[in-house]
Amino acid sequence: MADALEAAGGVLPGTDVALLNLARKITDGELILVGVTAPPAQPGGAGPTQSGGKVNLNTATLAELDALPGVGPVLAQHILDHRDQHGGFRSVSELRQVNGIGDARYEQLKDLVTV
């Protein structure tokens, strides 16, 4: 992430980057907002399903999971089924237990999701 910030022209003076993981690898096309207040939760909703730009495995909808790279509607449904059967995810690493997620797919998703 540090390289991406540098490539974008650096951080403006007064911008707080204390909560950013500057060592985190990012993917092409990923949107990262720095120094911007997150929008409020939508009325009537249970709250945001994303944290720091990551999709929360315990609250995400089928559509949100389907939008992850390498995840289609079938795999998204497997994630939801696993969540329902096991009472939610306690850690991102439990994603490896989902039918259809092997080591390569897990490596692709682990930095894009949270619990």
> In sequence order, which residues have a C-beta less than 8 Å from that of residue 73 and are 6 or more positions away?
62, 66
Residues 68-91 pLDDT 10s: 988 989 999 999 999 999 999 999
> In sequence order, which residues have a C-beta less than 8 Å from that of residue 43 and are 6 or more positions away?
none
User: In the predicted model, is pLDDT for residue 64 greater than 60?
Assistant: yes
The full set of domains in the chain, from first to last, is 1-37 (no CATH), 48-115 (1.10.150.320)
Q: What pLDDT score does 82 carry?
A: 94
Q: Which two tokens stand for residue 98?
A: 């989902």
Give the residue from 81, 110, 77 showing the smallest Cα distance to 94: 110
How far is it, in rounded angstroms, from Cα 90 to Cα 32? 25
